[in-house]
Chains A and B, each alone.
Chain A
Amino acid sequence: MGVNWRGMASNEIGQRVTGILLLIFGLLLAATLCTAATPGDNPIPNIFDPQSTPADSLFHLSMFVLVICGLIFVVVATLLVYAVVKFRARADDSAHEPPQVYGSTQIELAWTVIPILIVVVLVLATTRVIHVVQDAKKPPNVVEVIAIGHQFWWEFRYPALGVVTANELHIPVSDPANPSPTFLKLLSADTDHSFWVPQLAGKTDLIPNRVNEMWMDPHRTGIFLGQCAQYCGTQHAKMLLQVSVDSPEDFRNWVNAQKLPAKQDDSVSAGRKVFETTACINCHAVAGTAATGRFGPDLTHMMSRRTIAAGVAENTPENLGMWIQDPDMIKPGSLMPAMKLSDADLDALVRYLETLR
C-alpha cells in the first residue's frame, strides 16, 4: 500500500487497521443490501425485500429513517474525526493549557433546536405509517385466518371456509386493482409467540388471553419464510413458518381439497386401527374419524404439507417414523411423546398416515 508500517506508533497502526476494516465492512454491508430485491423464490427473509403492502409501508419508513440517521452520522462522525485529528497535542506544544472555554449559549441552543426539529419530522412520519398499517379497513374480498400459537407449532383455521391446518399457511395473491388481503386473528394456546414473515408484514405477537390482528396482501405468488420471533420455550428456534402465496385458482383448489374429510382407504385399516386405539387421538384430529384431539396439529391432510414438526424435517416416511418413535431425535423438548410402538405397528401407522393427502 506504499505505507511504511515500521515507523508508525501502535496508535497509528491501530487506526489504519481499523480504517481498512471499516471500509471492508461497509462494502460487505452494501453487498448484502443489494441482494435484497431479487425476483423469484428467494429463501432469504429479508426485511428490505417487501412483497406486500404493510411490508412496503414499513420499508419506505425504514428507508426514510435510515437516510436521516445516515446524514446525522456523517455530520457528527466527521466532526469527531476532525476534532481528533486537528486538536491532538503535538510534541512541540508549549506547556500552556488551551483556552478554557466553559460553553456557548448560541451553539448549545442551535444543537438543541435542530435535533428537536428532526424528532418532530420523524414522529410525524412514523405516526402516519402506524395509522395506515394498524387502522386499515377490511375490504369486502378478505380471507380471514385465525392463527393459534402452540409450543412449538402453528394452527391455522379458516372459519369462513371450513379449513383447519397447521404450520404451512396458504393465502391468495392480492391484485392491487381488486385487493383480496388476508386478515389474521392471532391467539395463543400457551405462552407468548410472534408471527414473523418479514417479506409480508411486520411481526405481531400471539399472546394468551388476548386477540391480536394483522393483515397482509402479497403482491406475487411464491413461498415466503419466517419463524416464531418471541421466545416461547425449549424449541422456539424450530417453530418455523412457511407461507405459500397461491394464485386465486390454486388457492381455491387447495381450500376445496382441505375441506374434505380424510380419505377412507381400506388397505391401511391396520394402521388406522393403531392410530385410533393408541394415544394419538388424544392430541390429533383426522376429519371424518373418531380422532378429534386439538392439542397437536390437525392431520387430516398432513401429506399436503412439505415438512413435519413445524418445518423441522422433510415430510418423508422415514422422518415420520422417526418422529413418532423418538421425537427427541428431531426436535428435543417438543411436546410430542415418544410412542414406543412395535416395528409392525409403526410401519402400519406410517402407511396409514401416508394416505392422509
Chain B
Amino acid sequence: MSSDAMAIRTAEAAGGHWLETLHEWVTTVDHKRLGILYILYALLFLVIGGLEAIVIRIQLLRPHSDFVSPQVFNRMFTMHGTTMIFFVVMPVMFGFANYLVPLMIGARDMAFPRLNAFSFWLTAFGGFLLYFSFLGGSGLYGAGNAPDVGWWAYAPLTSRAFSPGHSADYWTIAVLVSGFGSIGTATNIIATILSLRCPGMTFGRMPLMAWMTLVMSGLVLISISPLTAAQIMLLVDRYLGGHFFDTQAGGSAALWMHFFWIFGHPEVYILVIPAFAFASEIIPVFSRKPIFGYPVMVAATVCIGFISMSVWAHHMFTIGMNSASNTFFVLTTMAIAVPTGIKIFNWLGTMWGGKLQFKTPMLFCIAFLFQFLLAGLTGIMLGAAPFNWQLSGSYFVVAHFHYVIVGAILFCVFGAMYYWYPKITGRMLSETLGKLHFWLFVVGFHLTFDLMHIPGILGMPRRIYTYEPGRGWETWNLLCTIGAFVQSVATLIFVANLIYSYFKGPKAGNDPWDAWTLEWSVSSPPPAYNFATIPTVASRRPLWDRKHPEDPDSRYE
C-alpha cells in the first residue's frame, strides 16, 4: 500500500528489498503505474526499432551494398514497421491515456484496473514473442527466424508455400495477442470516460484529450477485430488446411488486403488522434488561450473516426479495382482531408492573438503543425488515384507516412513527454537539453524525410535491399542516411535528459506550466488515490476558474 506512484525511492528509502519494489510494479493495477510501464516499454522498443532503421539506412546508403544480406534486410524492415506501430506508438498512446485520462476527468482510477494490468501484460508479451523470433530460426536453416513478410504480411507470401518455417507465425501470433491487449485497454477507456467523469463534467466539458482518446478507443474496437479475424484465417490456412488466402487453391490475395486495410487505415488514425490530443492540450497552455472552437474540434474528430472506416482501399489503388471503386475511395479519402485540415486551422486560431511561450513542449507542437500540414498535403497527392499509380509502392509513400508518424506523431509524443514528465516524476526536464534535442531532431528529420520524397519521384520502389546505380537515387539515399544518424543522436540526448533529470532535475511542484486541467491540481507525482476529494467542475478549464474567480470560463460557456 505505498503512497506514491513513483514509489521506487520510497520503498528503498524504507529499507525495502528491491524485489519488493519489482513485485509492486509487476502486480500493480494502478493506472498511473501501468501508464509508466507502457511508456517505458514503448521507449525501449523505440530504441530497438530505431536500430533496425539504422541498419536499413546503412545498407541503402550506397548501391549494391553488402552490409547485410537480403534475408536480413527483409527481416529488418518487417520488424521495424511491426515494432514501431504495435510496440512503440500504440503502447505510448495507451500509456499516456492510462496515466492522464482518469486524472483529467476527476476519477480515482480506470473503470477496470485488473483488466488494465492484464491488457498491458498481453501487449508486452506480444512484443517479447515477436523478438523471440530472432532466436527461433537456428534449427530451420533460417526459415524460422524473424518475420520477413513486411508489416502488412500480404498473402500469399505468408502461405506455407512461400513462408516455410515459423517466421510468419511469430508475426501473426505476436500481433494477435497484443491486439487483445489493445481491445482490453480500449474497452477500459470507453467505460471510464462514459461512467467515471466527476460531478459537473458533462461530455461538453471534458478535456479534448478525453474526447480524442474516446474516439481512438472506438476505432480500436472496430478495427482490430478484422485484423484478428484475418490472422486467425491465416493460421487456419497455414495449419488446418484452409484456403482463404491460398491462391494456388482458388483463395484470394485481395481478400487479405481488404481485411488488413480495413484495420490498417483506422489504425493510422488510432496512432495520430492521440497526437492531436497532446497538441490540443499543449498549444492552448503555451498560447495562454483556450482551444479555438472546442465543439468543432470534437465534431471533426468524431467525423474523422467515422470517415476513416470508409477509405481503406486507397492503399489498394494499384491492385486493379475497376474505375467506379477507385473513384469511390478517392472521394472518401479527399473527404477526410476536410475535418483533418480544419483542426490545423483551429490550432492556428488558438495561437492567433495569444502570448506564445516557446518552451520545449510548444516547440515540438509548432514543428508538428508545419510537418502535419505537409504530410496531409502529400496524403492528398496519394489520394488522387492516378497520381497514386506512380507514387504508391515507392519511397514517396515511405516519406509520406514517416512524415506523419515521425514528423507529426513522434513530435507530439516528445512534446507530451516534456509537458507531463514533471507531473509523472515531480521533476522538470532540462530545457537546455530539450532545445538541443528539438533542433537536432528537426534538422535530422527534414534531412531524411524531405529528401526521401525525391527517390520515390525518380522511380525507387520500397522494400528493396539494394538498388541499381545510375538511376539518380544514390545521393539522396546517402543524405537520408546522414539524417537518420542525426536523429539518433538527438534521441540519445533525449534519453539522457530523461535519466539525468529524474535524479537531478529541479522540483516541479503541482503546476509548473500554469495550466488549466485537473491533473495539474494534484501533487507531482500524484498520490495513489489521485484526489483527496473528487472535484466538481463548472467549465472546460476548472483550474482557470480557480485562478481567475473574477472571470471564470463558466460564465461564458
- Residues of A with Cβ closer than 8 Å to B? 10-11, 13-14, 17-18, 21-22, 25, 28-29, 32-33, 35, 43-48, 55, 57-58, 61-62, 65-66, 69, 72-73, 76-77, 79-80, 83-84, 87-89, 93, 97-104, 107-108, 111-112, 115-116, 119, 122-123, 125-127, 129-131, 133-135, 151, 186, 190-192, 194, 196, 198, 201-205, 207-210, 212-213, 225-238, 240, 311, 332-333
Closest to A311 in B: B468
With most chain B CB atoms within 10 A of its CB, the pick from A83, A104, A123, A227 is: A83
* B351 contacts A83, C-beta separation under 8 Å: yes
A73 vs B344: C-alpha distance in the bound complex, in angstroms? 12
The number of chain B residues with a CB under 8 A from chain A is 107
Given contacts A10-B435, A102-B290, A333-B70, contact A194 B318 (CB under 8 A): yes
A35 vs B251: C-alpha distance in the bound complex, in angstroms? 45
* B471 contacts A122, C-beta separation under 8 Å: no
A116 vs B339: C-alpha distance in the bound complex, in angstroms? 10
Distance of A26 from chain B, by nearest CB (Å):
9
* A76 contacts B348, C-beta separation under 8 Å: yes
* B157 contacts A231, C-beta separation under 8 Å: yes
Among B148, B247, B393, which residue has its beta carbon within 8 angstroms of that of A194?
B393
* A65 contacts B390, C-beta separation under 8 Å: no
Closest to A328 in B: B69
Among B148, B373, B384, B459, which residue has its beta carbon within 8 angstroms of that of A76?
B373
Distance of B415 from chain A, by nearest CB (Å):
15
Given contacts A45-B471, A69-B377, contact A236 B318 (CB under 8 A): no
* A98 contacts B318, C-beta separation under 8 Å: no
Closest to B159 in A: A191
* B393 contacts A21, C-beta separation under 8 Å: no
Given contacts A32-B457, A127-B330, contact A203 B318 (CB under 8 A): yes
Given contacts A119-B335, A234-B71, A333-B70, contact A102 B384 (CB under 8 A): no
Given contacts A29-B454, A98-B289, contact A103 B296 (CB under 8 A): yes
Closest to B465 in A: A237
At the interface, yes or no: B345 with Cβ under 8 Å from chain A?
yes
* A87 contacts B354, C-beta separation under 8 Å: yes
At the interface, yes or no: B179 with Cβ under 8 Å from chain A?
no
Distance of B222 from chain A, by nearest CB (Å):
25
Q: Which residues of B (184-218) have their CB < 8 Å from a CB of A?
A: none
Closest 7 CB pairs of A and B: A202-B389, A45-B459, A237-B464, A212-B320, A14-B439, A208-B247, A103-B293
A44 vs B438: C-alpha distance in the bound complex, in angstroms? 36
A226 contacts which chain B residues (CB < 8 A)? 459
Question: Could you give 17 example pairs across A and B, Cβ below 8 Å?
Answer: A21-B446, A22-B446, A45-B458, A47-B458, A69-B380, A80-B369, A93-B355, A112-B342, A191-B154, A191-B157, A192-B154, A203-B392, A204-B320, A212-B320, A229-B318, A234-B148, A236-B463
Distance of B66 from chain A, by nearest CB (Å):
10
Given contacts A103-B292, A204-B318, contact A66 B381 (CB under 8 A): yes
- Can you name 19 extra interface pairs (CB under 8 A) apart from A47-B391, A108-B345? A14-B438, A14-B442, A18-B439, A21-B446, A62-B387, A65-B384, A83-B351, A87-B287, A98-B288, A100-B553, A103-B292, A116-B338, A119-B337, A126-B384, A196-B393, A212-B319, A231-B150, A232-B157, A237-B467
* B253 contacts A192, C-beta separation under 8 Å: yes
* B355 contacts A89, C-beta separation under 8 Å: yes
A29 contacts which chain B residues (CB < 8 A)? 454
* B436 contacts A44, C-beta separation under 8 Å: no
With most chain A CB atoms within 10 A of its CB, the pick from B69, B70, B322, B366 is: B70
* A204 contacts B389, C-beta separation under 8 Å: yes
A214 vs B318: C-alpha distance in the bound complex, in angstroms? 11
Closest to A333 in B: B70
A243 vs B268: C-alpha distance in the bound complex, in angstroms? 37
Among B358, B446, B447, which residue has its beta carbon within 8 angstroms of that of A88?
B358
Among A108, A112, A205, which residue has its beta carbon within 8 angstroms of that of B320?
A205
Mostly, the B contact residues are helix
At the interface, yes or no: B341 with Cβ under 8 Å from chain A?
yes
Distance of B517 from chain A, by nearest CB (Å):
15
* B465 contacts A77, C-beta separation under 8 Å: no
A119 vs B288: C-alpha distance in the bound complex, in angstroms? 34
* A207 contacts B253, C-beta separation under 8 Å: yes
* B337 contacts A115, C-beta separation under 8 Å: yes
Distance of B126 from chain A, by nearest CB (Å):
23
* A134 contacts B443, C-beta separation under 8 Å: no
A226 vs B459: C-alpha distance in the bound complex, in angstroms? 7
Among A35, A99, A125, which residue has its beta carbon within 8 angstroms of that of B353?
A99
Distance of B482 from chain A, by nearest CB (Å):
12
A131 contacts which chain B residues (CB < 8 A)? 323, 327
With most chain B CB atoms within 10 A of its CB, the pick from A87, A99, A213 is: A87
Closest to A225 in B: B471
At the interface, yes or no: B125 with Cβ under 8 Å from chain A?
no
Closest to A32 in B: B454
Given contacts A62-B387, A203-B389, contact A231 B154 (CB under 8 A): yes
* B387 contacts A61, C-beta separation under 8 Å: yes
Given contacts A84-B366, A88-B356, contact A209 B251 (CB under 8 A): yes
* B355 contacts A87, C-beta separation under 8 Å: yes
Closest to A231 in B: B463
Among B330, B338, B348, B450, which residue has its beta carbon within 8 angstroms of that of A130?
B330
* A46 contacts B384, C-beta separation under 8 Å: no
* B438 contacts A18, C-beta separation under 8 Å: no
* A87 contacts B352, C-beta separation under 8 Å: yes
Q: Which residues of B (386-430) have their CB < 8 Å from a CB of A?
A: 386-394
At the interface, yes or no: B146 with Cβ under 8 Å from chain A?
no
* A115 contacts B390, C-beta separation under 8 Å: no
* B385 contacts A130, C-beta separation under 8 Å: yes
A237 vs B392: C-alpha distance in the bound complex, in angstroms? 16
* B358 contacts A44, C-beta separation under 8 Å: no
Given contacts A100-B289, A122-B380, A203-B318, contact A127 B327 (CB under 8 A): yes
* A47 contacts B459, C-beta separation under 8 Å: yes
A191 vs B352: C-alpha distance in the bound complex, in angstroms? 53
* A100 contacts B458, C-beta separation under 8 Å: no
Closest to B323 in A: A134
A97 contacts which chain B residues (CB < 8 A)? 288-289, 355, 548
Q: Mark B66-90, 1 if CB is under 8 A from A, else 0.
A: 0001110010000000000000000
